């Protein structure tokens, strides 16, 4: 029985660099190992990743596996699935955990299926009950939680959502580094260049106050309702994904995992229910205010202040009060 | 190009969800249902590809009898025909079991392209498409924001974190999971709704497909409301009063105004 943490690296503009979420997953792996009294190891896949492996070698780990192959230079689901599968078989790991990144979402279900298993994706917490692992994940875009248990035999697979574990709790130590060379065939998919769309004209990360709008605004013609609030506060206007998908505000104003990650002094979420993809992009804000008609909306889980009500009545009233307060 | 689009029916977005007394699932008797949003975008992408390159769009849906309504709506938007895997208790299937059902119905169709939404709004595993690709032996790509057909292959735009994208090429047949916002959804026309009445919906069962429920490898043990990580100060009363209380806190406690 052992735990294996599969770390993620990516070479975007320069040499391979860590995906920061990997450290949170490593922290969770160490904690889990402690509670289950099992050894924990970590692995990194790619080509030319020795410097990254060196960073892992001074952590409290049983082993560090460097999975090197020229076909792992650029990520593909075929090669990564084959490589991790061979590594899991080589190490005999019983619990294999990953950061819940876009890359992991692309290949983990394939890997689990190839081994006749089901991965538990997007895990926000775990606990041990009667020596068994219980994973917590969200349902209905964060409105409800569910406890999930593994049935059948290991290996068990799970991916951990950002923000669930703290990277600054990682324990130092010394771990032997082992190079593992998988047997790989070329991928059927051909990865091409990484790119960003036209330069962002709006840098939301520089804003002190952000007013952000979600589905509750109902239609594009209602955007001025929240624009007035932003104007009254001298704030930048931002949005959750569906608003940008519908073209009601430009994509560059999107906050969340696929948009910008912000941490302003104040973040006012108007008509945003608070799916995890949005929360990861704003929950570091100093003061969070939520206005939503649904008292059970997950946005209230992270809000410091909230008003449960109809935004079309609350927001204009708020604009008036802010103007009064500012004199 | 023969395209199969997998769609799921889920509780409507603004549903007030209540946990069932058993704690095993939600009270779903009085909910209204709609197409899973990313699946609506997958359907639209399929329809647009057909309009550009010709071919056929087949809708595949596993679900109870009520899913027939969502299937009809997909046909009204322009899908050519549908396969309904009638299964009253999808909850008995884990993602692998559900994908096995879909795979059994899909394989004989021999499609050039299979599209799914990237995740469901109810369970939200975000796995069915990828599992399906593995079961069918197809190359795949996920979270797709653009699809271009080339000669015998496709070139797609994959969304990554922090505003990054990547182009990926792969041979057909292939499977893609589609991200919301890839295109602009259409409404069904009156003519479309009329035509849908005569379109073929083939009903099959899990047993008929030879893919009955197997022993699940994960179990959902308890559904509950999430605990709040912060103590939220909630202000109520008439909007004007609530707004005034909030502004006072923002000015004198949080000191952000």
Angstrom distance (rounded) from CA A208 to CA B10: 38
pTM beyond 0.80: yes
Residue B115 binned pLDDT confidence (cut-offs 50, 70, 90): very high
Q: Rounded to 5 degrees, what are φ and ψ at B27?
A: -75, 110
Residues A167 and A23 in one domain: yes
The pLDDT of residue A41 is above 90? yes
Stretch B117-141: mean pLDDT? 97
Residues A147 and A235 in one domain: no
Residues with Cβ within 8 Å of B111's Cβ and at least 6 positions away in sequence, in order, are B2, B3, B4, B58, B173
C-alpha A66 chain-centroid distance: 24
Can you give the residue range of the structural domain that contains B254? 228-257
The pLDDT of residue B189 is above 90? yes
Residues A30 and A131 in one domain: yes
Cβ–Cβ of B160/A266 closer than 8 Å? no
**pLDDT per position as a tens digit, A139-197:** 999 999 999 999 999 999 999 998 778 888 999 999 999 999 999 999 999 999 999 87
Tell me whether residue B214 is in a domain: no
Residues A56 and A171 in one domain: yes
Tell me whether residue A199 is in a domain: no
Residues A227 and A293 in one domain: yes
Closest residue in B to A144 (Cα–Cα): B225
pLDDT, position A200: 64
Q: Is B107 on the interface with A (CB under 8 A)?
A: no
Domain tally, chain B: 2
Residues B51 and B155 in one domain: yes
Tell me whether residue B216 is in a domain: no
Tell me whether residue A131 is in a domain: yes
Q: List chain B residues with CB under 8 Å of A244.
A: 181
Residues A274 and A176 in one domain: no
**pLDDT per position as a tens digit, B171-185:** 999 999 999 999 999
Residues B6 and B119 in one domain: yes
Q: List chain A residues with CB under 8 Å of B181.
A: 241-242, 244-246
Task: Give the 3-state secondary structure of residue A252.
Answer: helix
Residues B126 and B233 in one domain: no
The pLDDT of residue B90 is above 90? no
Q: From the candidates A12, A81, A106, which should be mutated to test the interface with B, based on the most B CB atoms within 10 A?
A: A106
Q: List chain A residues with CB under 8 Å of B249.
A: 305
Q: From the candidates A117, A118, A292, which should be mutated to test the interface with B, based on the most B CB atoms within 10 A?
A: A118
Angstrom distance (rounded) from CA B149 to CA A203: 35
Q: Which of A96-105, A114-123, A157-166 has the weakest average pLDDT? A: A157-166
Tell me whether residue A190 is in a domain: no
Contact residues, B window 154-193, toward A, CB-based 8 Å cutoff: 155, 158-171, 180-181, 184
Contact residues, A window 194-253, toward B, CB-based 8 Å cutoff: 194-197, 200, 209, 215, 233, 241-242, 244-247
Stretch A305-310: mean pLDDT? 96
Task: Give the 3-state secondary structure of residue B110.
Answer: coil
Residues B238 and B151 in one domain: no
Q: At what angle do helices B128-136 and B95-106 cross, to 10 degrees?
A: 50
Q: Which of A136-140, A195-199, B1-5 has the weakest average pLDDT? A: A195-199
The pLDDT of residue A327 is above 90? no
Residues with Cβ within 8 Å of B81's Cβ and at least 6 positions away in sequence, in order, are B56, B58, B59, B75, B199, B200, B201, B202
Residues B199 and B232 in one domain: no
Residues A25 and A151 in one domain: yes
Q: List chain B residues with CB under 8 Å of A266.
A: 250, 254, 256
Residues A92 and A241 in one domain: no
Q: List chain A residues with CB under 8 Å of B139.
A: 77-78, 187-189
CATH of the domain at A236: 3.40.50.1220
Can you give the residue range of the structural domain that contains A294? 204-326
Query: By C-alpha distance, which of A256, A279, A295, A211 is closest to B250?
Result: A211
Residues A165 and A258 in one domain: no
pLDDT, position B213: 65
Residues A228 and A173 in one domain: no
């Amino acid at each position: 029985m052992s735990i294996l943490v599969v770390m993620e690296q990516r070479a975007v503009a320069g040499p391979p660099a860590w995906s920061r979420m990997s450290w949170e997953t490593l922290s969770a792996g160490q904690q889990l190992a402690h509670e289950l009294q099992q050894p924990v190891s970590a692995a990194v896949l790619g080509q030319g990743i020795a410097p990254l492996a060196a960073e892992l070698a001074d952590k409290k780990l049983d082993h560090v596996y460097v999975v090197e192959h020229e076909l792992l230079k650029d990520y593909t689901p075929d090669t990564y699935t084959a490589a991790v599968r061979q590594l899991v078989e080589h190490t005999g790991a019983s619990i294999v955990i990953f950061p819940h990144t876009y890359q992991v979402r692309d290949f983990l279900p394939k890997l689990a299926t190839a081994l006749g298993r089901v991965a538990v994706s997007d895990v926000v917490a775990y606990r041990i009950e009667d020596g068994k692992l219980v994973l917590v994940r969200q349902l209905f875009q964060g409105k409800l939680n569910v406890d999930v248990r593994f049935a059948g035999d290991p290996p068990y697979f799970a991916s951990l959502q950002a923000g669930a574990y703290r990277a600054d709790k990682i324990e130092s130590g010394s771990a032997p580094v082992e190079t593992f060379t998988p047997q790989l065939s070329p991928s059927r998919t051909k990865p091409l260049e990484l790119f960003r769309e036209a330069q962002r004209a709006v840098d939301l990360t520089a804003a002190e106050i952000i007013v952000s709008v979600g589905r509750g605004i109902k239609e594009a013609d209602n955007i001025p309702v929240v624009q007035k609030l932003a104007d009254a506060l001298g704030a930048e206007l931002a949005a959750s994904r569906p608003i940008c998908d519908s073209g009601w505000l430009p994509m560059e104003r999107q906050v969340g995992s696929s948009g910008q990650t912000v941490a302003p002094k104040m973040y006012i979420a108007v008509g945003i229910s608070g799916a995890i993809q949005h929360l990861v992009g704003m929950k570091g804000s100093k003061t969070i205010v939520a206005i939503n008609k649904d008292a059970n909306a997950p946005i209230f889980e992270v809000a410091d202040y909230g008003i449960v009500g109809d935004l079309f009545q609350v927001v204009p009233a708020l604009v008036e009060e802010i103007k009064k307060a500012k004199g | 190009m023969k395209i199969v689009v997998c769609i799921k029916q889920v509780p409507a977005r603004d549903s007030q969800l209540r946990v069932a007394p058993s704690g095993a699932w939600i009270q779903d008797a009085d909910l209204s249902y709609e197409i899973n949003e990313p699946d609506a975008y997958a359907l639209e992408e399929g329809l647009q590809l057909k309009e550009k390159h010709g071919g056929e769009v087949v809708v595949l849906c596993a679900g109870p009898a009520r899913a027939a309504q969502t299937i009809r709506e997909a046909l009204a938007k322009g899908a050519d025909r549908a396969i309904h895997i009638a299964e009253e208790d999808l909850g008995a299937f884990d993602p692998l079991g559900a994908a096995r059902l879909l795979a059994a119905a899909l394989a004989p169709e021999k499609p050039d392209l299979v599209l799914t939404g990237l995740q469901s709004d109810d369970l939200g595993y975000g796995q069915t498409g990828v599992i399906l690709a593995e079961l069918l032996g197809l190359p795949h790509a996920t979270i797709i924001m653009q699809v271009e057909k080339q000669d015998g292959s496709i070139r797609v735009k994959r969304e990554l974190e922090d505003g990054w994208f990547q182009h990926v090429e792969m041979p057909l047949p292939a499977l893609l999971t589609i991200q919301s916002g890839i295109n602009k959804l259409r409404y069904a026309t009156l003519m479309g709704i009329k035509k849908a009445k005569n379109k073929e919906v083939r009903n099959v069962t899990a047993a008929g497909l030879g893919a009955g429920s197997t022993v699940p490898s994960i179990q959902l043990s308890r559904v509950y409301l999430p605990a709040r990580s912060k103590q939220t100060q909630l202000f109520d009363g008439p909007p004007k009063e609530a707004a005034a209380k909030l502004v006072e806190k923002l000015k004198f406690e949080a000191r952000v105004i």
